[in-house]
């Protein structure tokens, strides 16, 4: 299916079609939790937000504490392009956005926005964790 623009209802349908189980948080944003595994031993939460045809994905891992988060974020952003790493206190989080104001297919959004965004964030957390524990 081809569509133009995105809203909360369309986003929920796309997440369902992608097999990403979500629930609404207290602010009404859709969110999902990826459970810890051998690659990254902390849960990661992904929020999916829509505003003015922008799809924004923010990911955090509240239990993962980062040594020198500002240096980590600067180095990450210097060497990566897709996802922005943002330092905050003793942690980092990731943010990426997609402007969907032109016609796109549902498959494009599922593969190149939703799955890519969540997967890229997960691997970014895992890479930082591995670097700090090697």
How far is residue 131's CA from residue 120's CA, in Å, rounded to a whole number? 16
Q: Assign residue 91 the CATH number of its domain.
A: 3.30.1460.70
**In this structure, is residue 57 part of a structural domain?**
yes
If one counts the domains in the chain, the total is 1
pTM for this one? 0.95
The pLDDT tens digits for 43-72 are 999 999 999 999 999 999 999 999 999 999
Domain holding 34, by residue range, is: 2-128
Q: What is the pLDDT of residue 82?
A: 87
| 107 in any annotated domain | yes
Strands 30-34 and 23-24: antiparallel
Chain centroid to Cα 34, Å, comes to 11
End-to-end Cα separation, the chain, in angstroms? 45
Whether 109 maps to a domain, the answer reads yes
Q: Is residue 69 part of a domain?
A: yes
**Residue 56, in any domain of the structure:** yes
pLDDT of the chain along its 134 residues, tens only?
999 999 999 999 999 999 999 999 999 999 999 999 999 999 999 999 999 999 999 999 999 999 999 999 999 999 998 899 999 999 999 999 999 999 999 999 999 999 999 999 999 999 999 999 98
Strand extents, DSSP E, 11-102? 23-24, 30-34, 44-51, 54-60, 84-88, 91-99
Q: What is the per-residue pLDDT for 36?
A: 98
Q: Is residue 133 part of a domain?
A: no
Is 114 part of a structural domain of the chain?
yes
């Amino acid at each position: 299916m081809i569509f133009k623009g995105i809203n909360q209802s369309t986003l929920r349908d796309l997440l369902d079609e992608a097999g990403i189980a979500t629930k609404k948080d207290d602010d009404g944003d859709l969110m999902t939790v990826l459970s810890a595994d051998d690659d990254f031993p902390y849960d990661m939460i992904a929020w999916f937000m829509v505003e003015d045809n922008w799809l924004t994905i923010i990911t955090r891992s509240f239990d993962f504490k980062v040594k020198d988060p500002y240096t980590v974020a600067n180095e990450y952003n210097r060497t990566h392009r897709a996802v922005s790493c943002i330092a905050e206190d003793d942690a980092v989080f990731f943010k990426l956005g997609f402007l969907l104001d032109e016609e796109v297919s549902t498959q494009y959004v599922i593969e190149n926005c939703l799955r890519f965004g969540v997967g890229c964030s997960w691997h970014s957390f895992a890479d930082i964790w591995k670097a700090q524990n090697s």
